[in-house]
Amino acid sequence: MAAQESVYNLLPRLEEKPVKPPRYISTFRPSVKLEIERSKAQWKTMGPAKLAVPSPTNFLKKHSKEPTLPAKCLHAQFTGKKEQESRKLPALSVPRRTDRPVMGIESKKNFIKTNAVAAITGLPKKPQHIYVDRRQGDKYLLETSGLVPKYIKKKDYGVTPKYVTQRREEMKKAQKEYENNVLEYLKKKAMKQLSDEERECLLQGLKKKWEEVYNEFQCLSVEIDTIPKQLYKGKLESQMKQLEHDIDVIEKHKVIYIANE
């Protein structure tokens, strides 16, 4: 083991640079180069090798691409008699003063007189009714404004519509059919309707029974300390509740049906 500090470390040392290995070159490189040069043209990637440079005198001028007019020699041919003749209008036959052209069918009717008679005897036009939204506002037709009471003056105003009467008749008919069906069902079940006397008698009997049970309930001892007393008290209370419910049902419903056994 060498020490950390040594006299030999003070001596200068030569740096040894690492030697690089030779570069790899493929053996097929010359054949590939030849093949690429054979298949490659001069202007294939970077354009042609030599291109004609435009001359500085052949620059773009104003109106050079617009269509040119015909030459002076062609224009001179049309400036003579042919051009004057082409400008002349064709000769038209002017009608004479004695000629009377016929326009359609001739009629002997005097339209001036007929129009005058129609204007005198005809009825004057009625002015349109209008309304104004403000003092110096615009004018609007009164008929389409909704201010004219049109619907009040109609013949069928206030009359019940046909569909309402028809619906009422259908409802009455459906109610009658329902009642008939109920009666038929009751007849099939052979149910008997209680009369007023029977209903009143039944109601009085239930009330009397309730009074009897209530008197028995009042006769109970103050201290209910045994199980039989508790059970008897609960039985009386349930009987009283049931009787009260039955009395309430009979008083509410006047028509009562009883099924025959």
* pLDDT tens-digit series, residues 216-239: 988 888 888 888 888 998 999 999
Are residues 197 and 255 both part of a single domain? yes
Residue 136 lies in a domain: yes
Report how far residue 160's alpha carbon sits from residue 116's, in angstroms, rounded to the nearest whole number: 53
Q: How many CA atoms lie within 13 A of 235 on its CB side?
A: 8
Share of the chain above pLDDT 70, in %: 82
Are residues 227 and 172 both part of a single domain? no
Residue 120 lies in a domain: no
Are residues 162 and 174 both part of a single domain? yes
Residue 118 lies in a domain: no
Separation in Å, CA 226 to CA 221, 222, 223, 229 = 11, 12, 9, 5
Are residues 181 and 135 both part of a single domain? yes
Residue 54 lies in a domain: no
In this prediction, residues 15-34 reach a mean pLDDT of 90
* Contacts for 193 with CB less than 8 Å, ≥ 6 apart: 255, 256, 257, 258
Are residues 209 and 254 both part of a single domain? yes
User: In the listed set 167, 189, 211, which residue is the last one of a domain according to the structure?
Assistant: 189
Are residues 185 and 195 both part of a single domain? no
- Tally of structural domains, the chain: 2
Are residues 220 and 184 both part of a single domain? no
pLDDT at 187: 75
| Domain membership of residue 138 as a residue range | 130-189
Query: Of 72-81, 158-167, 192-201, 230-239, which gets the smallest average pLDDT?
Result: 72-81
Report how far residue 182's alpha carbon sits from residue 189's, in angstroms, rounded to the nearest whole number: 11
Residue 48 lies in a domain: no
In this prediction, residues 192-212 reach a mean pLDDT of 88
Are residues 255 and 210 both part of a single domain? yes
Residue 122 lies in a domain: no
Residue 40 lies in a domain: no
pLDDT digit string (tens) for 113-125? 999 999 889 888 8
**Confidence band for 24, pLDDT divided at 50, 70 and 90:** very high
Share of the chain above pLDDT 90, in %: 22
